[in-house]
């Protein structure tokens, strides 16, 4: 019999079981939904398939499984070790683990690890992992799990390990039925742990648990983990989502795909597992006191913390993009009390099925940035604003890089203006000290600011500033002095200050270098009309950025010229001295700095000497700058694996000197 036929028969059996069980319930509790003749025909068909495939599920009406109530569940010694796996958050660690060996990447299910034993095709025992040496006998409750076959077409002894889980769909239904918020379950893992250990098997059956097989310990061919799990599937087991892996360059794609499959199948998970496909090789590596060496676990996220989502705050940015921010009950994230985390865009909120009042899990990405991992309740109870929270203007959902984002359609929105001014006055742009976001917001509300140009006319309000609460004469004079000082700048900073979409600091520098930091040459091409400017093919500027500049020029050319009158443009020192000692070299910066005040300063030095700075290490990286050369950080590990040199600040300074 072909593989497809067996799969079809198993699915048909499951459908018949559900139909017959539903019909039986309806017959005894309400109006019958199936005639006796049809019930008998389907029952006979089910019996025929069970006999033909030699597979029987415990919820089959042919079994009439009774329920039991025990005084206690017994602790028993496991017939094989069930240790944990070593963990990593580094994709590079996965690549090093795999080497040139055939591996499998599978979902790391988040439930209660359980081992099943079959003898002559009959299920004879079920035990939880416990401490890895001894576990709890849960056979009476395992018999209530619908997707575990009670009988299989395999005569030899079969021992199979897997995860007993409760799917997100079932978890949410159970929680919805619990009115008291304090009694709701926090996570499917907590619910399944209690469910599998219930003394009353009838109550356990109502929890709708599932068993996901992830490793065959004894039985089948026992050469390939992957093939054995496929054989398990043919015997009626639900197997773990898995993807073969060897020398794979798209590791992240594999990890993301596995995660998506788990989500689609309502499987709670807390990572992925990479394991050697060859049993003999994997088991020859042995174990430590805690871990098997045949597999390694990959953790998708940092430690998760639960809290309650109070509301979603929508903030209008300088580009008109209205960014959603989760505001939740205060929570201690790795030592920092946190109440807010970005939600990125509408698609991100929808993917999380997020809702106001939901219990959510939050983590600090790379121990720095707070992020929402998921919603436990998945209520989808959120509203997309129809009006801009700043100006009250119309909003519109648009597609941007395959994601839905919310935009304010009002060109005169003060939210856009505040964002643009905050950007323009920042240290890396025009560097105006004293114009905080709160100060800018106040000046906008007073009608003193309506553009970047108006900043350079704030001196007209000097007398009124002196009388403002919190603005003394000394601070006002210092602010106006900083504004005047910023009037001498470079072309790249000026371009960066314009807030042209997709034109950041590096792109602004590329454009300025192309025109030799000369504003007149830049503006001549900038104002010549749509399309003309980018016939010059500025290095480092792609098609999307080119289009954004062209669109910006059509509506802003005159304003840009008027703004330029407020500035005196200087040529940077690197242009005067043609310092290109780092030409063609790409650096990555990580860790704390001692010689330079911050990363921006070091980045500026690298770029002014012809080099480039990237956020991640690759084979094209010239050097990773890290004062802790022996650090075990992911960037250090990756640099070492790729043969990229790691240098400290002192060595970098010597490099600048040509030493």
Active site residue ranges: 108
**Would you say the C-alpha torsion 579, 585, 588, 594 has a positive or negative sign?**
negative
Q: In terms of Cα–Cα distance, which of 117, 284, 114, 290 is closest to 214?
A: 114
Question: What's the CA gap between 497 and 60, in Å, rounded?
Answer: 70
Q: Is residue 355 within 8 Å of residue 149, measured between CB atoms? A: no
Q: Do the bridges between strand 269-276 and strand 291-298 make them parallel or antiparallel, or are there none, so unpaired?
A: antiparallel
Residues sharing a CB contact under 8 Å with residue 288, sequence separation 6 or more, in sequence order: 86
Cβ-count burial 74-103 (b if 16+ within 10 Å, e if not): eeeebeeebbebeebebebbbbebbeeebb
Phi, psi of 149 (to 5 degrees): -70, 135
Question: What's the CA gap between 242 and 631, in Å, rounded?
Answer: 33
Tokens in use for 122?
A: 């009959």
Q: Is residue 310 within 8 Å of residue 329, measured between CB atoms? A: yes
Q: Do the bridges between strand 238-239 and strand 488-489 make them parallel or antiparallel, or are there none, so unpaired?
A: unpaired
CA distances from 405 to 310, 313, 338, 390, 592 (A): 21, 14, 25, 17, 35
What own/partner pairs with CB < 8 Å and gap ≥ 24 does 508-514 have?
509/607, 510/538, 510/539, 510/540, 510/541, 511/538, 511/541, 513/575, 514/538, 514/539
Secondary structure of residue 374 in the 3-state scheme = strand
Q: In terms of Cα–Cα distance, which of 466, 455, 382 is closest to 424?
A: 455
Phi, psi of 132 (to 5 degrees): 95, -20
Using alpha carbons only, give the angle 223, 226, 232 rounded to the nearest 5 degrees: 95
- HEC assignment per residue over 123-192: EEEEEECCCCCEEEECHHHHCCCCCCCCECCCCCCEEEEEEEECCHHHHHHHHHCCCCHHHCCCCHHHHH
Tokens in use for 222?
A: 């026992």
Helix (H) or strand (E) holding 562: helix 543-564
Tokens in use for 391?
A: 């100006």
Q: In terms of Cα–Cα distance, which of 156, 158, 122, 120 is closest to 139?
A: 122
Question: What's the CA gap between 404 and 644, in Å, rounded?
Answer: 38
Question: What's the CA gap between 332 and 330, in Å, rounded?
Answer: 7
């Amino acid at each position: 019999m072909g593989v497809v036929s067996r799969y079809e028969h198993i699915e048909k059996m499951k459908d018949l079981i559900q139909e017959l069980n539903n019909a039986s319930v309806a017959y005894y509790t309400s109006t019958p939904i199936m005639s006796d003749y049809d019930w008998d025909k389907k029952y006979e068909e089910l019996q025929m398939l069970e006999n033909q495939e030699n597979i029987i599920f415990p919820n089959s009406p042919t079994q009439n499984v009774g329920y039991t109530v025990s005084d206690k569940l017994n602790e028993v010694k496991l017939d094989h070790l069930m240790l944990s796996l070593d963990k990593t958050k580094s994709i590079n660690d996965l690549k090093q683990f795999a080497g040139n060996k055939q591996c499998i990447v599978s979902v790391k299910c988040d439930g209660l690890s359980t081992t099943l034993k079959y003898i002559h095709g009959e299920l004879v025992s079920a035990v939880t992992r416990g401490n890895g040496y001894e576990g709890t006998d849960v056979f009476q409750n395992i018999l209530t799990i619908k997707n575990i076959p009670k009988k299989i077409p395999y005569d030899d002894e079969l021992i199979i390990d897997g995860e007993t889980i409760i799917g997100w769909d079932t978890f949410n239904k159970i929680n919805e039925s619990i009115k008291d918020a304090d009694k709701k379950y926090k996570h499917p893992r907590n619910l399944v742990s209690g469910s599998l250990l219930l003394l009353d098997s009838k109550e356990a059956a109502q929890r709708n648990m599932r068993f996901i097989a992830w490793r065959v310990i004894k039985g089948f061919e026992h050469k390939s983990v992957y093939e054995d799990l496929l054989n398990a599937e043919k015997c009626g087991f639900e197997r773990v989502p898995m993807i073969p892996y060897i020398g794979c360059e798209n590791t992240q794609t594999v990890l993301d795909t596995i995660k998506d499959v788990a989500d689609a199948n309502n499987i709670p998970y807390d990572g992925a597992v990479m394991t050697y496909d060859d049993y003999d090789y994997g088991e020859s590596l042995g174990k430590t006191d805690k871990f098997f060496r045949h597999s390694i676990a990959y953790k998708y996220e940092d430690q998760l913390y639960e809290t309650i989502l109070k509301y979603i705050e929508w903030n209008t940015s300088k580009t008109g993009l209205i960014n959603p921010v989760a505001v939740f009950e205060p929570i201690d994230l790795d030592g920092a009390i946190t109440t807010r985390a970005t939600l990125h865009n509408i698609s991100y909120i929808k993917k999380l099925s997020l809702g106001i009042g939901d219990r959510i899990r939050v983590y600090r990405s790379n121990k720095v940035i707070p992020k929402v991992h998921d919603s436990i309740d998945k209520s989808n109870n959120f509203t997309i604003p129809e009006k801009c929270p700043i100006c009250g203007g119309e909003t519109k959902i648009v597609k941007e890089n395959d994601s839905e984002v919310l935009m304010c359609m009002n060109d005169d929105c003060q939210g856009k203006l505040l964002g643009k001014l905050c950007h323009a006055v920042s240290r890396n742009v025009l560097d105006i000290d004293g114009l905080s976001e709160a100060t800018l917001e106040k000046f906008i509300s007073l009608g003193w600011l309506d553009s970047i140009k108006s900043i350079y006319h704030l001196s007209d309000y000097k007398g009124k500033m002196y009388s403002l609460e919190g603005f003394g004469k000394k601070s006002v004079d210092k602010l106006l002095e900083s504004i005047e000082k910023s009037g001498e700048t470079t072309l790249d900073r000026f371009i960066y200050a314009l807030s042209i979409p997709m034109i950041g600091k590096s792109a602004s520098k590329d454009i300025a270098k192309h025109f030799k930091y000369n504003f007149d040459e830049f503006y001549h091409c900038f104002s010549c009309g749509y399309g003309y400017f980018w016939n010059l093919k500025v290095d480092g500027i792609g098609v999307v950025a080119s289009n954004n500049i062209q669109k910006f020029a059509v509506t802003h050319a005159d304003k840009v010229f008027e703004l330029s009158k407020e500035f005196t443009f200087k040529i940077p020192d690197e242009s005067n001295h043609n310092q290109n000692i780092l030409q063609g070299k790409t650096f990555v910066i990580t860790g704390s700095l001692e010689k330079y005040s911050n990363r921006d300063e070091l980045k500026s030095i690298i770029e002014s000497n012809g080099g480039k700075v990237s956020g991640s290490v690759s084979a094209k990286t010239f050097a990773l700058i890290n004062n802790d050369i022996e650090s075990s950080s992911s960037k250090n590990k990756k640099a070492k694996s790729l043969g990229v040199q790691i240098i400290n600040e002192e060595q970098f300074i010597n490099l600048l000197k040509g030493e």
